[in-house]
Copies of this chain bind each other. A is one copy, B any other.
């Protein structure tokens, strides 16, 4: 590896001072156009790229964001939802000249991880994927004044930047759709109830039933964990309830796929015997058999919005709205029996 080119050499070649080169690099206005031009030419010619570490040390900014995945959300790694979120965040960062760091807070090392990655000033801000309500890392971040945007929402840590899908409404719309189709024994498979997302979707389910004057049968509420396996076993339990449900709202597509499988294994058919609606609209949803009716999350916008909020905040334009709600959309396919 040849000797790294430094700002000094650029300065010398362009016959200006280091300060001026630095100003050019940082788009400082007070550089005469012809000088700026000359410096830029030398930079290009020499293929010069300023060294990140030196820059950060002097400027106290790193141009790096961190996507933090709490260990409690480790299941997310099997969920396509995740990939798409990452993709949109990466793109938003790249577009604004930031890099994205990925971190998992894994179990016991949480604390030391936190230290190493976040206190070392390696990152300018954190995007945190929705997590357990009582995740211990959240207070640490807030206490440290770490710029933070939550993807998801939190019940009582209110004045915090966050982006979320209107989970309650989305769930309600799904259940209303099932009601409209004539169902009254509607079950739900929830996510893990220490997660706010899971609670909201369950509440949307309840809300829709109550509004329609349909009572809530606790037996028809099964708890899953957002995975296929969870959906499968929750569904098996629900199938044993008497009288059995005629429709199921699963709080995620992955769980819906698991439920689908359980229903199939029990010798029943979707939607003929049981109608099924999911949540997320992950790519496989439209390729399942039958195609899955589901509540579409604007996944890409979710990530992009969160990143944008954080970047705006970091660059001195604090977003006026602290909590952004994106609207989900009911996508009607075959599994609900509407056709």
Residue ranges of A at the interface with B (Cβ–Cβ < 8 Å): 1, 4, 47, 49-57, 62, 64, 67, 74, 76-80, 82-84, 86-87, 90-91, 94, 97, 99-104, 106, 109, 113, 115-117, 119-122, 144-145, 228, 232, 257-258, 260-261, 264, 283-284, 287, 289
Report the minimum CB–CB distance from A27 to chain B (whole Å): 15
Give Cα A78 to B253, complex, Å. 14
Q: A57-B54, A115-B49 are in contact. Are A78 and B283 (CB under 8 A)?
A: yes
Q: Which of B101, B121, B232 contacts A51 (CB 8 A)?
A: B121
Question: What are 24 pairs between A and B in contact, CB < 8 Å?
Answer: A47-B115, A49-B116, A52-B53, A52-B62, A52-B122, A53-B53, A53-B54, A53-B55, A53-B121, A64-B122, A78-B83, A78-B283, A86-B102, A87-B104, A91-B104, A94-B103, A94-B104, A99-B122, A100-B102, A101-B102, A257-B284, A258-B287, A261-B287, A264-B289
Q: A83-B77, A86-B102 are in contact. Are A120 and B51 (CB under 8 A)?
A: yes
Contacting pair A287 B49 (CB below 8 A): no
Q: A99-B122, A102-B100, A232-B287 are in contact. Are A76 and B86 (CB under 8 A)?
A: no
Give how many copies assemble into the complex. Answer: 2
Chain B residue at minimal CB-CB distance from A100: B102
Q: A53-B56, A54-B57, A257-B287 are in contact. Are A99 and B117 (CB under 8 A)?
A: yes
Chain B residue at minimal CB-CB distance from A48: B119
Q: Interface majority SS on A: helix, strand, loop or mixed?
A: helix
Report the minimum CB–CB distance from A41 to chain B (whole Å): 16
CB-CB under 8 A from A50, the residues of chain B are 120
Contacting pair A78 B84 (CB below 8 A): yes
Contacting pair A104 B90 (CB below 8 A): yes
Q: Which of B56, B101, B289 contacts A99 (CB 8 A)?
A: B101
Contacting pair B106 A284 (CB below 8 A): no
Give Cα A249 to B83, complex, Å. 26
Report the minimum CB–CB distance from A227 to chain B (whole Å): 8
Chain B residue at minimal CB-CB distance from A50: B120
Report the minimum CB–CB distance from A310 to chain B (whole Å): 16
The 6 closest A-B pairs by CB, nearest first: A53-B56, A49-B119, A77-B87, A52-B120, A53-B57, A52-B122
Give Cα A260 to B289, complex, Å. 9
Report the minimum CB–CB distance from A99 to chain B (whole Å): 6
Report the minimum CB–CB distance from A4 to chain B (whole Å): 7
CB-CB under 8 A from A120, the residues of chain B are 49-52
